[in-house]
Structure formats: C-alpha cells, structure tokens
Structure 1
Amino acid sequence: MDYIAHVREADEAEQLVSDHLKECCQLAEGYLSNMALSKTAGLAALVHDMGKYTTAFQTYLREAIANPDRPPKRGSVDHATYGGRLIMDVLHAEQNGIPLVTAELTANAVISHHGYLHDYVSPDIDSPFWKRVREKELPEYEACKERFFGEVMPEDAFVRYCIEAVEEIQELMTAAGPEKRGEWLSLAARMIFSAVIDADRTNTRDFEEAETTDPSYTLPVERFLNNLESRYDSFAGGEYSSVNQARSDMAEACRKYAEKPSGIYTLSIPTGGGKTLASLRYALHHAKKYKKDRIIYVVPFTTIIEQNAAEIRHVLQAEGELLEHHSNVAQGEEESEADDWGAFHRRQKMNLAKDNWDIPVVFTTMVQYLNAFYSYGSKNARRAHNLSNAVVIFDEVQKIPLSCTTLFNQSVQFLRDRAKTSILLCTATQPALDRLTEKIRLTIDGEMIDRSPEKLLPFKRVELIDEATDKQMNTEDLAGMVNSLQSEHKSILVILNTKSVVRRLVDRLKEEGEEVFHLSTAMCPAHRKEKLGTIRSRLEADEPVICVSTQLIEAGVDVDFSCVIRSLAGMDSIAQAAGRCNRHGKSEVKPTYMIHHEEENLQRLPEMKAGAEITRKMLIDFKKQPGYFQHDLLSEKAMTTFFMNYYQQHESQLNYRMPNETKNMTEILFTILNHHPYYVSWKERHKEEPPFVLSYSMKTAAKAFEVIESNTKSVIVPHGKGETIIAELAAGTSLREMEKLLRELQHYAVNVFHGEWKRLVELEAVEAAADGDYYVLKEGFYAEETGLTMDGAGELDFIGY
C-alpha cells in the first residue's frame, strides 16, 4: 500500500510519507545550517512523522477522509512518538554522554511537534519526556521501522546521519565551554524544535497549495541598498542645518561600521538623530558584506512599528518583503489531539497562515521576540530559527521588561555567539546591560558614533525644567498650566502615566472649549496612525495642537512639539519625552517640564513607580551637584547613574521568577542535570540516578512565561477596514490569502488585559469569530475619540505594550 502523510483538500491528491519526511529534512537542514546544527535539525525532521507508517495510522487517516461527517477521534493513533523512539534506540544505548545528549535533544523535538517540548524533569519530580519516549507502548513499531528504512533512508545511512548529528552537538558543547554549556544546549533545543515545526508546517502548506517554498529565498540587498543610498543622495543637495549635518555624519559612521565583523554593537544616537535610517544603513551594508538572510527590527511598542515600518517600506520600496508583526490576532488554543476533524482542519489552516518571519525585513515587538525563545506554543517557537544569520536591531532597547532582562541578555548572547547574528542595541538612553551579573558582552569599541560633546551639541534642543520636586499637581492645576503655556507655545504635548488621568485631563480641557487630540493603546494601530497623521499635518502647518497621551508616543514616534509636559517617570522616559520637543531643531531651545501628578496611581505599575522615585532623587541631587551629571540630566553620565540605581534596586527581579516557587526560570531552563534544582529530589524519590542526561523543565518554564505580567487578548475592533477583513475571512479563502488578511487584520486589533477582557465578556461586548480563533468587538464599544470604551467598567490604568 502507499503510505500517505496528507491528502490535499482541493483535489484529494496524496502526499507520501516518504516525500514529506525527505522534504522536511531538507528544509530543516537549511534552517539551522548557519548554526552548524543542520544534521541535528535534519535528523529530527527526518523521523518526525515516522509513525504515519503504521497500518493503524493509515486506516485512521483514510477513514477520516472517507467519512468526513463521522470521522474517528483525532489523536486516537499516536504518530509522533515513533521517530523519537527510533533516535533513542540508535543513540541512547551508547554510554558516551554526547550521543545521549543528541538523542534527547532531537527526540524531544520529534515527540513534541504537535504541542510543545516536554519536561525532562517536571516540578512533581517525574519525567514526561522519558515516559513518552521510552515507556509508552508503540504498536507496530518494528514494522514501522522497516518501512521507514525501506522508503526513506537505509538503516546504515541513518546511523551515519545520527553520528553526524552527534558530531555537531559535540562541537557545540566544546564551543560553549563549561560555563555556557547548559544555556546553549537549552537554547539549541528550542532552535531544533523551531526548525522541525517550521519544516513540517511549511511543507504541509506547500503541498496543500500545490507549490514549493524556495529555501534559498534571501534579502534583496542590492535593490534595497540602491533605494536607500538614493535617499541619502537626495539629502546631499539640500540646505543643511546643523542637526541635518549631524544626522548625516552619524549615518555615515553607521555605514563604515558595517564593515566590521558580526558582533553586539550599540548605536546611541540622540533622540531625533535619524536613528531608524542610520541603523538600516548599517544593517543593509552589513548584510551585503556578510551575507545575512534578513533584518529584524524589535521595538517596545506597536506605535513604533507603525511609523518606522511605513518609513522603511517607502524608502526601500518594499511591499511584500516587509512584515509588521504586531501580535497574534488568532487567539485559539494550540492544536490538540482531542480536536474533532472539523476543528482540526480549520485550526490547521489558521496555524499554517501564522507568520514565521521568513521574510527579508521584519518589524516586531519585544514581546514577540522573547516569546520566540521562551513562551509556550508552537506558533511562538516556529519563528526562533529565523533569528539566526540575521541583523537584529533592538530599537529603544531600554524598554526591556525588568523581569525579562536576564533572559533577554542570554538570548542575545546566544544569537551572537552561535547563530551568526549581528546585534545592534539602539537608543539615546543605553540601559547599561553590560554591567549586570548576567551581562551582555558588548563588542570592544562597539559604539558606532562619536559621542563627544561637540558632536552632540546640535542635538541640544531642549531644556529640562523641574516642576516636580517642590510641588504636586492635580488635573485642575495641569489644565491651568496647559492654558497658560498656550500664549507662548502653539503646540503642547502632555504625557501622563495612566489612561485614567489622561482621560480626565482631556475631558477637563474640552470643558474649557479646547480642541484636544487623545492617543491611547485603547485605539487600534490603524486608528492611532490616522490620529498621528492629523497631528503631524497640524504641526507641519504650524497650527495650534494640544495632544494628551500615555507613554506610547514618547519612544520613536516622529512628532515635533514646541513644548512638552511629562509626568514624573524614569529618566529614560523623561529623555524620550524630551525627544518629542523641538525635535528638528527649528528653535534654539524649548522647554520640557517635569511634573508630579498627585492623581496618578502607580501601584499596579511598580517599575514605573520605582523609576519615578529614582528620578525625583536625581533631580534633588542635580540641584546640589550639577557637575556630577556633566551639568546635563540628559547626559550619558546621568543615564548610566539612573540605570545602575534602577537595576541595583531591582536586582532580585532581573531574572524571571517562577510562579509560586522560590526558583527562577534560568534555574529550571538552563541548568544541567547534577546542578538542576529538581535533581536531588529525583534521587531521593526514585532512589537512583535519572536514566537521562538532560534536565530542563521546558514545558513548565514556557507555560509560566509571560512578557507582560497580565496576559492580553487581541480584540478586533469595528474601525475602518476591520469589518471588511473579518467578513472576507469568514467567507473562506486560500491559505495564502488568509495569511495576507491576518497580517492586515493586526492593524485593527486592540490588546486588552485580563480585567478589561473579563469586563467586556460581562458586558457581552465581544463575540467569537472562526469558532473562537479570534474575537470581535461589537458596535457601540468603540469610539472615534477614545477607542475601546466600556461604560461603567471603571478605570483602566494599565498602559500595555
């Protein structure tokens, strides 16, 4: 009989198991070739669906096709464990430690490819991995092996292939050294898992769509470079201000730095210094010289994606080659073996349409970057391998969530040391990540620009005015301050820390007849983009503008106000807010006022509260000893002082803590066996050494991990084209078209926290679409002025990412 892996829905064509396995192997090899793990990834992909060679699975699959109305229960026949068992049979019988490690790394990826990596040791001191791969009964295992060796790869060739994978792992462990061995093996396990998942999903999609993915698809660097350099050439003939000249000098320095080998570099261009295009210039020239596959921008807020992606898309003339990945719009659960067949086919189409970052230029968020390494679910893990052999630019890197600092540093160092990835840390306020216990090892002389006082002088456009240390303000006081400043300043930006005080000030100013622009994360990206477009047009026309916003506007959003008022926060936030003031140097110096708003409740924003308190103490010290801060609160000395105090105060919080445990995530995710916190308990309970050599609690760590403390759901809002896209998705379409629509739909999503979500459900304000894969906000709960609204829902103080 022909052993089939998939049947195409459109024409009932059959894909053979042998073809699927060989093609997946080839894809996975290519995915990790830059990490010298091609055979290891290829081995896992080669056997991942070996269990489909059982008669039981073939009967199960054909019955499902023949009886779509009454199919057998999905998952009733296990096909994922067989390949893992074969790898263990070949390599785990060896006494040498390297084959054991190789077997356990690859077998876990195989048995987990429809879910998530198993714990080698779980908190209840058991081994889900060992039970699955070694103790589970596998009917027809011997017959399955015979068919695999007969159709896919002869046994002797398979053994040789396994040995090649062992050699790769041996080289990796040697390169890591004793200090980094546990960390590198754990992150390599994630990369192998990523490669297997993406190879499987990609090959399945290609078969379903009757096309072939080109594994050599790379960055069109020559065309992009021509377009970018043409942009810089167009600047050359213009009339240069001192600011424009300084921007040009810094961009040229970035171009020259591209000649240096891949490393971890910093780009500390002052706010308004043209950081976006300068970093792109480095990335493209570096990618050309060192043959990088893609450029990935990682930013803290979706507002930066909206602006910067639009700018770069225009400059590069890139459309289908640039991805904006804001969030996971589809909220459905990971596929489950308990799904019925109808749910499975619908969910399979949705999963295949998810983005895997296989595109030349990617804009994404810090949340999505960290999820790719550490969060639960195949949809997150699938993207990880595409971070290799890339240029990854972290924009506004100081916005890393505090609890993720150590995990961020470890992932970045791994990408640099093992994955041939070049890292660029961009911000005007570098966060001193190289001074922590678990630090990033910056490349020596790795700052790209000259930060001498004379070079930075053109960016001295703002005077910080302390209105915070001697008095507090309420909404009434602040409204009066805004009114009094209008006589001197046509455009005023007020940035406050919580949504509730923003709305109060907006309401108070409107009561006085003022026209006020309001920006908030309660608006979908498309809506915010429209509002920002109107604001920019008014600013460029030198018309009066009052804008009141949460902090979403202060990091990377290109607006130029003549006056800024910033509620007390960390010095990095103060500096970013000041960057929205006199941004293009049209005037010599303009004011940024720092205020203390007494109505702000920061109890649920402890990091912001702590940052504000450190800033307040620095303001007091500055009055006494301005020379210590180089007579400038925006100086490098001031920023380093702030971050060192901030990290010292929060040292215990830099490493992600596991819920309800004294252990942190690093301990259970990166520690090798005899140092693992569960090792002693294992020996005590089982009265023997574990039969395996890896100990990572993969699933436990991933399930506990949330970049943002309170997880969010994406809700599609009835604004602009959002409703039309929802209707098109509901009508049914091809996988490729669905992928396009899902990407576009992200512009019409609002992320809501658990409390907000609960209230929306109580109000019956949301309804499920596509059987719960995503949720749609009903009419009446979205306002043109404020975005998502909930009458009687109480105050929503969270800012979010």
Structure 2
Amino acid sequence: MYIAHRNEYTNEVQTVREHCENTANLCKEYAIPEMEDLAYAAGKAHDIGKYQEGFQRRIRGENIRVEHSTCGAIAVGEKYPKPMNLMMQYCIAGHHTGIPNGGFGNDEDNSLKGRMNRTFEDYDAYKQELELPELDIRKWQQFLAADCGRNADWLIDKFTFLTRYLFSCLVDADSTDTAEFCRSTEVVRKLQADFEKCLEKINVQLQAFEVKTELQKTRSLLQEQAYRNSTKDAHIYLINMPTGSGKTLASAKIALQRAIAKKKKRIIYVIPYNSIIDQTAEVFEKLFGNNLEILRHQSTFSYDEKVDLNEDYREAAKIAVENWDAPFIITTAVQFFESIYSNKRGKLRKLHNMADSILIFDEAHMMPQDYLQPCLQGIAYITKYLNSEAVFLTATMPDFEKLLKLYAPANNRIENLIKDKTLFEKFQKCQYINMGKVSPEGLLAKSEKYPSRLIIVNKKKNARQLFQMCTGRKYHLSTYMTAYDRQKVLQAIREELKSLDEDFPDGNIPEERRITIISTSLIEAGVDLDVYTVFRELNGLDSILQSGGRCNREGKRDKGEVFVFEFENEAQNDKMNITQRLLAEYKDISQPECIEEYYEEVFFLKQENIQKNTMHIKCRSFENLPFQTYAEQFELIPDRTCSIVVPRDEKSRKLVDTLRYTKIENEKELQKYTCTVTKKELDELIKQHVADDFGTGIYCLTNEDYYDENLGILLEAQDYFL
C-alpha cells in the first residue's frame, strides 16, 4: 500500500491513489470549463513521486528527505506535448515550494530545468494505480491563443496568468483534501451572506436619504443613472462620480444587483490603503448586520485579537483568509494584486476564488503607474476568462477604456455607467487657487483666518515642522506615528469638528476654538472629514482633487477654498510639472476636460514605465519563464522604508516582550503598533541603542522616550529638565 498521508490523531492512512484522485476531482471542480481537463490531469499527477520507495520509508517513520514533486512534472512531460505539459510542469514541480523559474540549459539549481535533470528513484508503480487522462490538445491551444492574435507578447502574458491560475486550483485542492483527511476536529463552517436581504437593506438606506436640496437631488439623479446603465452586461463597469455623490453605497448596490442577477459566488471590495478599510468595513457591518459576514484581509487586521467577535465566526474567517472562500471580502490593492502575481501557494491559493465574482476597485485611479499593465491585465483576464465582473470606482477617472485596449487587450466589454457628466458641476463645492511659492511661516499665517483648516504636505518632516511651529488647537498625522495613534487622532478630529458645527452653526468660530490639522497624503482618500479650508502642497492633480474632497464636503457654503502651494527649494516630479501647467491653463482644474488631459500625459506619454514590469518584458519563451524572480520583485509599494514596532499600551508591550524572549512574533497584531522610517533613520536609532530586532528581523523601539504620541518616532530622546 502506497501511503500519501497519515492522520496523527487517528493513525489512519490515506493512500497516494486516494489523495491524487480526490485532488484531481477537486481541482477540476475549481477550474473554469476550458481548464477542467488540464486541472484534472495536474491533480492526478501531482503526487506521483510518493510512489518512490524512499518516500514510503519516510512516511512510515524513517528520518530521510525525499523530493517527490518533480516526478509528477517528469511524468506529464512524457505524456503530453509542449507547451501544455510545461504549464502543468511549472505547477506540479512547485506545488509545495512555489512555481519555479523555468531556467536555462542543464541547470543544477531549483529552476524547473534544474529539477528535471535530477535523478529519482523508480516511481513507475503509479502506472498500476493511476491513469493520466487523454487531453484535447487542439481545444486547449485554441483557448490559449484566443484574443492574442499573432502577438507573442500577449501569448506569454496569458500563458503565465493561466499557469498561476492552474497552480491556484491545484494547491487549494491539494490543501483542502489533505486538511479534510488530517484534521482532528469537526469541519469549521463557512462564512455566510444573504445578498437578497443585503440589497433590501441598502435600498431602504438609500430611500431614507433626504432629497430636498439641489445637491441631494443631483446625487440621486447621478446614482439612478449608474443603476440604470448597470443592467447592461459587461466585463468591466466604470463609475466616475464626484466626491460626495455616494459612490461607496452606489457601488455596493450595483455589486449586489449584478451578483444576484448573474449568480456570482462572492463580492471582493479592493481598497488602496489599509487606513480606509476600517471605515468601509464599519459602514457595511452597520448596514448589513447579520445578513453579511465580512471577511477582512489586510496586514493591519488580525482575527486573533478581535475578542468581541463570535468564536464560531472568528474561526471560520481565519480559515477563509487562506483561500478567500467567502461571500464578501474587503482587502487592499496590495493583497489583491500580489496574490495574482505571487509564485507561492499561500498567496496564489486565492486566485481561483476570484472567479465568478464581482470585483470593486475603490479609488481605481491609484493603481501604480509602474505596475499599471500587470494590474490591468490581471483584471482583464479574471473578468474575461474567469467569469467575473469588475467595477472601477473613482472621482478622477483616467481613460480606462483606452488603457485596457492598449495594455490588456482581452477584448473585454466595457460599460461606462456615467454617460452624462453635466451634473458634475453641482458637486464643485470648492475652488482651487494657486498660491505659488510660500514659506512655512507665510503658510501658517495665511491659514489662521479660517475656522478649521487642513494643511497637507508631501513629506513627513515638513508635516512635523509645521506642527511644531503651529499654535492653538492642532492635530498632526503622518506615518511617523503608529496606526494606533493615528486612529485616536482621527477620532479626536471628528469629535472636534462635530462640536464646532453644533456650537457655532453660523460658522462664526472664535479664534481660541479654531483648529489646524497638518497631515501627509494619508488623509486624502477615504477619510470623511469636512473642514472649512484646505491647503495642499503641489502634487499630482488626482491628489489635489482628493484633498478638495475634504473641503466643504457637505456643501454648506456656496464655495470652499483649496489653496495649492509650493515650498521653496523643493524638487518637482513629472506629475507636479503637469499639474502646475494645468493650474495656469484652467480656471477650474476639477473639470472633466482637465482631468482627462492630466491622465493623457501621465499614462500615455510614459508607456515604457507602464510596460516595464510585465512578464513578456522579462522573458519571451514558455520554457524559461522567471516565475519566482518576477514574484520576488513584484512590489506595488516600493520597499524604501522600514517598519519599527512602538510599544503604546500594555498589550503591545507584552507582544514586544514575547518577541524578545521567545523570538515568536505575531505580525498582524504588531502591525497597528508600527510606524515607518527610512533605512537611514532606522540605522540612527540602532546606533543610539534604542531599536533592536532581538535576532528576528522585526525591529522594536526599546526606549519609549524616542516616541511622542503627537509627533511620532523621534531620532533623539525628549529632553528632561531637572
């Protein structure tokens, strides 16, 4: 009897034949129709190497190391022709360690070619128990070539996407069958959702809103236009709606309607920043209640520390995070795209569960320019080939129709839900004024006459300097501060603004009650604040317009004011130069024509930047695709900063002590106590013996005098006066 697994709790054994057949059936079940037969064959062959005598000695207790993954890759190489066999070989050879690089020549490394050149014990016994199926090669080749024309680059990109997708089906099937056999307890239930009842609740909420003022009527008309147009079938929907027009609820309603109409399995809400997820999740949790169990997957959130959650729900969510087998998921753009372009089973397990879904991309314009092509390709492939639909949501919409056709030509049907933009001018609640160059002193002096002012700068050190110079009631926000403290500051700001509204409804606020908020760009997207005036340092047009969304947000005045300024001697990038020219050319930079011109320059004059991180640029042959190298280099947020954990309460001090004495870390629980510094700043703290990683690679602040709850991390201790 050839054994694949042994249950350590019951001492039962699962044969290799049973496991391979179970995995093949699950793999086929997970796959789209065009990939079912290939998935079944890959599942059948993945553990053929366990028929080696050495592996059987190991599973029976002998302490030896036996490589088994590559044997299945060799077997499918003998059975099927190229490039079909290559797709399976990448997946089978890497189903434990991750999809390898293809490699070159007679490599003796961990590349696919290197592994295939190794010598293995005889595993022919599999032929007596497992029969690899015959496959329709022509049908598979036609599916692979569809939409690629004669373009070899598109063929490479599509082949790599489908390889990762097959890998996702295989490793999730393998993990699921293994877990089912080896588990010690009852099967944990799955998260639940009732989309019909959720839609009823969102309709009740939307109908409850007052529609009396001109702005409220316009908001309702704009939303109705989006709902009406969303009944048309498409792969990708574009919702271009101004700030304050109710995009979040409108997109959720459209997603629910499409999910019900098209019988989709799940809705995945993708948000650019961790800091925005809390607010979005809170809105949905409050609105949908028990009818929707939300799965949150982000680096700053841990189900282990959420003691207020039902134990049953928490355990179900912890398992669902591994493969996104849940009906409603809120995650970050980093998690979503790095899951598509990883090579590891831990991340790629989720990819096949992006099929049959509605994907909502909030603030879609924030997809990074350097990775725009792979991001758009991933969405195009998931919606065209995996039976999903995507919704792009933003107040500053690039020409995504043109971008998708240029960089991700999968012949997706694209539907623009807002065709009539004449209503946009009703949402122009502020005017943008170019101040030109100012000194920090001049900026603060100018801001003092306004009752509540938000000053947004590009650099953390400038935010800190302004905060220290500022007098009166003031607040500071930057990533020098931990997420723990930023959340407290945001809550304090909201309470103070609410208090000012209640105490001074006429807006005539005495000087001693006026407030100043000084922040970096982290406050621009998804943070619902309504201040009297905004001052924004020159940056990309999208950033400036996002800043304007914090000014006169509720339209209580005819026009708010957003002042755009520059500091002396600050270097400018291409986006700043484009914005500076548009400020001079347009009376109102929030006009659709201005936004269109901005993105035309940003995206279409820098095509080499957009394409440089696509797989076909790295390799032009199926046989030596650099899956591992590409995954290791795929970083949506360049790692130019370092994280440092700062103890802020009793819980975080215990976590740091655990790390110090046991070397065991809980990264998710530590995340909200981290702030970011440059490598140079971290080196300075280490040099002063106030930061240590205790040999774990996770740096912690060991002297709390080097942190201030208002300023954040300090590079020298606070002074003591005796």
TM over 0.5: yes
DSSP 3-state at the match of 2:226: helix
Deviation at 1:500?
A: 0.7
Structure 1, unaligned runs of 5 or more: 65-70, 93-99, 331-350, 603-608, 623-630, 658-663, 674-692, 732-737, 794-801
1:763-782 maps to which residues of 2 (within 5 A)? 772=696, 777-778=701-702, 780=704, 782=707
Match of 1:81 among 70, 75, 93: 70
- Deviation readout 1:679-727 (Å, 9 max, x if unpaired): xxxxxxxxxxxxxx64422223223322223366655543458528949
Per the alignment, residue 474 of structure 1 pairs with 439
- Deviation readout 1:568-588 (Å, 9 max, x if unpaired): 011111111111101111221
Q: Distance in 2 between matches of 1:324 and 1:752?
A: 27
- Deviation readout 1:492-535 (Å, 9 max, x if unpaired): 111100101000001111xx3x2211112233444333322221
Q: Distance in 2 between matches of 1:218 and 1:352?
A: 13
1:637-716 maps to which residues of 2 (within 5 A)? 637-656=593-612, 665-669=615-619, 671=620, 673=621, 694-710=623-639, 715-716=644-645
- Deviation readout 1:641-684 (Å, 9 max, x if unpaired): 11112234433211235xxxxxx643235x4x3xxxxxxxxxxx
Structure 1 pair 281–80 and aligned structure 2 pair: CA distance change class (3 A):
same
Is 2:73 aligned against 1:90? no
Per the alignment, residue 28 of structure 1 pairs with 27
Match of 1:181 among 155, 175, 187: 155
Code of the residue aligned with 1:700 in structure 2: it is T
Deviation at 1:449?
A: 2.4
Code of the residue aligned with 1:791 in structure 2: it is E
**Bigger mean CA offset, 12-21 vs 500-509:** 12-21
CA contact (8 A) 1:253 1:448 kept: yes
Code of the residue aligned with 1:77 in structure 2: it is V
Q: Distance in 1 between matches of 2:80 and 2:408?
A: 35
Structure 1 pair 328–711 and aligned structure 2 pair: CA distance change class (3 A):
farther
CA contact (8 A) 1:102 1:166 kept: no
Per the alignment, residue 491 of structure 2 pairs with 533
Per the alignment, residue 95 of structure 1 pairs with none
Code of the residue aligned with 2:101 in structure 1: it is D
Is 2:121 aligned against 1:139? yes
Code of the residue aligned with 2:359 in structure 1: it is V
Code of the residue aligned with 1:367 in structure 2: it is V
Is 2:206 aligned against 1:232? yes
CA contact (8 A) 2:295 2:321 kept: no
Is 2:386 aligned against 1:428? no
The alignment's TM-score, normalised by the length of structure 1, stands at: 0.77
Q: Distance in 2 between matches of 1:601 and 1:507?
A: 23
Structure 1 pair 719–776 and aligned structure 2 pair: CA distance change class (3 A):
same
CA contact (8 A) 1:474 1:599 kept: no
1:568-587 maps to which residues of 2 (within 5 A)? 568-587=538-557
Is 2:594 aligned against 1:595? no
CA contact (8 A) 2:230 2:237 kept: no
Deviation at 1:407?
A: 1.5
Match of 2:433 among 441, 457, 465: 465
Is 2:475 aligned against 1:517? yes
Deviation at 1:43?
A: 2.6
Per the alignment, residue 315 of structure 2 pairs with none
- Deviation readout 1:184-241 (Å, 9 max, x if unpaired): 1111011111222233334444445446779997753223223322322332xx4633
Q: Distance in 1 between matches of 2:674 and 2:241?
A: 32
- Deviation readout 1:148-196 (Å, 9 max, x if unpaired): x42xx4x2xx323xx1687445434346543343321111011111222
Per the alignment, residue 611 of structure 1 pairs with 575
DSSP 3-state at the match of 1:364: strand
Is 2:592 aligned against 1:632? no
DSSP 3-state at the match of 1:516: strand
Q: Distance in 2 between matches of 1:114 and 1:568?
A: 48
Q: Distance in 1 between matches of 2:671 and 2:265?
A: 25
Structure 1 pair 434–41 and aligned structure 2 pair: CA distance change class (3 A):
same
Q: Distance in 2 between matches of 1:502 and 1:319?
A: 43
Structure 1 pair 565–383 and aligned structure 2 pair: CA distance change class (3 A):
same
DSSP 3-state at the match of 1:542: helix
Q: Distance in 2 between matches of 1:355 and 1:85?
A: 29
Per the alignment, residue 311 of structure 2 pairs with none
DSSP 3-state at the match of 1:585: coil
DSSP 3-state at the match of 1:142: coil
Q: Distance in 1 between matches of 2:348 and 2:683?
A: 28
Deviation at 1:491?
A: 1.4
1:708-747 maps to which residues of 2 (within 5 A)? 708-710=637-639, 715-719=644-648, 723=652, 726=655, 746-747=671-672
1:315-394 maps to which residues of 2 (within 5 A)? 315-317=287-289, 321-327=293-299, 355-394=322-361
**Bigger mean CA offset, 712-721 vs 260-269:** 712-721
CA contact (8 A) 2:274 2:300 kept: no
Per the alignment, residue 35 of structure 2 pairs with 37
Per the alignment, residue 343 of structure 1 pairs with none
CA contact (8 A) 2:50 2:123 kept: no
1:238-257 maps to which residues of 2 (within 5 A)? 238=210, 240-257=212-229
Per the alignment, residue 277 of structure 1 pairs with 249
DSSP 3-state at the match of 1:116: coil
Deviation at 1:384?
A: 2.1
Per the alignment, residue 500 of structure 1 pairs with 461
Is 2:294 aligned against 1:294? no
CA contact (8 A) 1:490 1:542 kept: no
Q: Distance in 1 between matches of 2:68 and 2:232?
A: 48
CA contact (8 A) 1:783 1:789 kept: yes
CA contact (8 A) 1:254 1:281 kept: no
**Bigger mean CA offset, 710-719 vs 372-381:** 710-719
Is 2:61 aligned against 1:103? no
Q: Distance in 2 between matches of 1:168 and 1:715?
A: 49
DSSP 3-state at the match of 1:298: strand
Deviation at 1:265?
A: 1.6
Is 2:720 aligned against 1:791? no
Deviation at 1:267?
A: 0.6
Deviation at 1:142?
A: 1.5
Match of 2:367 among 390, 400, 407: 400
**Bigger mean CA offset, 412-421 vs 633-642:** 412-421
CA contact (8 A) 2:74 2:89 kept: yes
CA contact (8 A) 2:300 2:668 kept: no
Q: Distance in 2 between matches of 1:184 and 1:214?
A: 36
DSSP 3-state at the match of 1:718: coil
Deviation at 1:320?
A: 7.9
Deviation at 1:751?
A: 5.5
Structure 1 pair 779–213 and aligned structure 2 pair: CA distance change class (3 A):
farther
Deviation at 1:465?
A: 1.1
Deviation at 1:401?
A: 1.5
Q: Distance in 2 between matches of 1:752 and 1:18?
A: 53
Code of the residue aligned with 1:255 in structure 2: it is Y
Structure 1 pair 52–444 and aligned structure 2 pair: CA distance change class (3 A):
closer
Match of 1:620 among 544, 568, 584: 584
Structure 1 pair 759–63 and aligned structure 2 pair: CA distance change class (3 A):
farther
Code of the residue aligned with 1:586 in structure 2: it is K
CA contact (8 A) 1:725 1:745 kept: no
CA contact (8 A) 1:375 1:706 kept: no
DSSP 3-state at the match of 1:586: coil
CA contact (8 A) 2:7 2:183 kept: no
Q: Distance in 1 between matches of 2:245 and 2:618?
A: 42
Residues paired across the two proteins, number:
683
CA contact (8 A) 1:389 1:419 kept: yes
Match of 1:555 among 512, 515, 525: 525
Structure 1 pair 80–166 and aligned structure 2 pair: CA distance change class (3 A):
farther
Q: Distance in 1 between matches of 2:548 and 2:651?
A: 34
